[in-house]
């Protein structure tokens, strides 16, 4: 027979599943066991202290809401943590901890509305609750952890970041209005938009700041039409001092919403209020948006975010680890940064999965574990062979330091490693000869061409060399 504690937790899981993405669910909720229900206190067993802390940090609001939904207002949650030194899995040594009362407002992983009435459409909190009042209380929807402080600067984002900072220091008063930030997914647009909002709030507590996704905006507009309070909707938005609107490309094809946004935009702009817009494409490339709106997007500054280089990727990982108070061997960090090159979100996802894996299986975090994890979780989606990655493989193979490749030295073994790095870069990346040369010791395209010819000749004439090439090739493709 199914016990009450099992049933309650199963119902909780159904709600949780609808509110977190699949990978997070697998990582953080599947390993949890429910073990007791006593006096309306549900006890769940988590595999480690780390798990407990992670849940408390990232999912506490969701967990609390879910428990209250299942057990009523007096419902509570308690953790039973399996401690590291327990040897007998049947009777794990556990400690009990109640949930903290820390408030974690604004955390993106929990700010999604819970779908309590299955089947009905998800409700987005309607922000314009007090029509007619000038001074309104607006929940800014900002996520504290997406601050400037936590946003690593690199060549990839320097312009957007510093313009964003200038805007936050002087909202509505710089030439950057609107500031339009664009990039492919996972490169920091949302983070930067929040950072601007947070900074404005710090500098000018009296200013009304609002972060919304374009999707929320559309939904609110549709609701306002349905509820016949479209004017309240428009007035609400016209009262905002700094409006951050994320993923504007979702307005494509939504003519009515574009129309109302056009009026809101004009009103805010004319009154010297700041607009911050993000998009997955440059203004000229967005389709399905009216020209009069697109042309306004170009009034201020359009700045893109690019793929971060290796150093920036390493810095992002280190920052994240530091923030979470976790230590990880530097070579593992570098391995992650070498392997995942095109998307910061995936880079962080890999880091988190790795920590969870290690915590779950009580294994040390090693390169080997990282490699397995990357194979399982991310290889198919993001492994793109880069020049950096090739250099690392070649250097590891000959046991030399990457810096040597980029030095002027003419030592035979270094020259050979450099030529191989050039050869494999030509073969496995789409980079031009000039780019490859630039990254491999600041050489010109002719040198790269020469290197490729030399390697091809040696492959044909030197058996041992051919073996090297085959070995390295295998490692690159691993």
Q: How far is the CB of 348 from ligand ADP (least distance, A)?
A: 5
- In the complex, the smallest distance separating the C-beta of residue 346 from ligand ADP, rounded to whole angstroms, is 9
Pick 347 or 469: Cβ nearer ligand ADP: 347
Nearer CB in complex with ligand ADP: 93/322: 322
- # chain residues binding ligand ADP, by CB under 6 A: 17
Nearer to ligand ADP, 43 or 183 (CB): 183
- x/- track of binding to ligand ADP for residues 167-206 (CB under 6 A): ----------------x-xxxxxxx---------------
Residue whose CB is nearest to ligand ADP in the complex, by number: 188
Under the binding rule (CB under 6 A), the answer on residue 244 touching ligand ADP is: no
Among the listed residues 152, 248, 414, 472, the single contact to ligand ADP using CB under 6 A: 152
| Binding track, positions 291-330, relative to ligand ADP; x by CB under 6 A | -------------------------x--------------
**48, 66, 106, 157: which one contacts ligand ADP (CB under 6 A)?**
157
The sign of the dihedral angle between the CA atoms of 441, 443, 445, 446 is negative
Pick the binder of ligand ADP from 345, 371, 379, 404 (CB under 6 A). 345
The yes or no reply on residue 432 touching ligand ADP (CB under 6 A) is no
Q: How near is the Cβ of 192 to ligand ADP at its closest, in Å?
A: 7
Binding to Mg ion, residues 177-216 (CB under 5 A): 189-190
Binder of residue 242, out of ligand ADP, Mg ion, none (CB less than 5 to 8 A by kind): none
> Cβ of residue 328: shortest distance to ligand ADP, in angstroms?
16
Site string for Mg ion, 136-155 (x = CB under 5 A): --------------------
* Binding-site ranges for Mg ion (CB under 5 A): 189-190
* Binding-site ranges for ligand ADP (CB under 6 A): 146, 150-152, 157, 183, 185-191, 316, 344-345, 348
């Amino acid at each position: 027979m199914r016990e009450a504690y099992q049933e309650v937790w199963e119902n909780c899981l159904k709600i949780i599943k609808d509110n977190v993405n699949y990978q997070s669910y697998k990582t953080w909720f599947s390993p949890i066991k429910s073990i007791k229900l006593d006096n309306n206190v549900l006890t769940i067993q988590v595999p480690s202290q780390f798990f407990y802390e992670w849940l408390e940090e990232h999912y506490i609001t969701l967990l609390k809401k879910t428990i209250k939904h299942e057990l009523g207002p007096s419902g509570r949650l308690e953790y039973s943590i399996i401690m590291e030194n327990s040897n007998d899995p049947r009777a794990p040594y556990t400690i009990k901890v109640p949930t903290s009362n820390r408030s974690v407002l604004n955390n993106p992983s929990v700010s999604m509305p819970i779908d309590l009435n299955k089947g009905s459409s998800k409700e987005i909190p309607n922000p314009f609750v007090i029509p007619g009042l000038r001074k309104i209380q607006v929940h800014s929807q900002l996520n504290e952890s997406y601050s400037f402080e936590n946003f690593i600067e690199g060549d990839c984002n320097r312009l957007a970041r510093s313009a964003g900072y200038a805007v936050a220091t002087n909202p509505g008063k710089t030439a950057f209005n609107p500031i339009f930030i664009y990039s492919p997914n996972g490169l920091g647009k949302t983070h930067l938009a929040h950072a601007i909002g947070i900074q404005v709030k710090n500098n000018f507590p009296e200013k009304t700041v609002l972060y919304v996704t374009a999707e929320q905006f559309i939904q609110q507009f549709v609701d306002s039409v349905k509820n016949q309070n479209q004017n309240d909707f428009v007035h609400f938005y016209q009262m905002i001092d700094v409006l951050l609107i994320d993923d504007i490309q979702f307005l494509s094809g939504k003519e009515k919403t574009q129309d109302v946004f056009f009026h809101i935009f004009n009103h805010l702009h004319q009154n010297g209020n700041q607009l911050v817009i993000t998009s997955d494409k440059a203004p000229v490339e967005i389709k399905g948006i009216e020209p009069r709106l697109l042309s306004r997007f170009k009034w201020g500054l359009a700045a893109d975010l690019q793929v971060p280089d290796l150093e920036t990727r390493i810095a992002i990982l280190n920052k994240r680890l530091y923030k979470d108070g976790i230590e990880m061997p530097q070579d593992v960090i570098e391995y992650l940064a070498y392997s995942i090159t095109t998307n910061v979100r995936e880079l962080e996802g890999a880091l988190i999965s790795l920590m969870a894996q290690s915590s779950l299986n009580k294994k040390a975090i090693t390169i080997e574990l990282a490699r397995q994890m990357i194979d399982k979780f991310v290889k198919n989606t993001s492994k793109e062979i880069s020049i950096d990655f090739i250099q690392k493989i070649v250097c590891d193979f000959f046991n030399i330091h990457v810096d040597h490749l980029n030095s002027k030295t003419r030592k035979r073994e270094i020259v050979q490693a450099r030529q191989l790095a050039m050869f494999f870069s030509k073969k496995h990346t789409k980079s031009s000869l000039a780019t490859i040369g630039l990254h491999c010791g600041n050489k010109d395209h002719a040198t790269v061409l020469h290197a490729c010819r030399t390697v091809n000749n040696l492959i044909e004439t030197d058996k041992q060399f051919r073996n090297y090439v085959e070995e390295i090739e295998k490692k690159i493709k691993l």
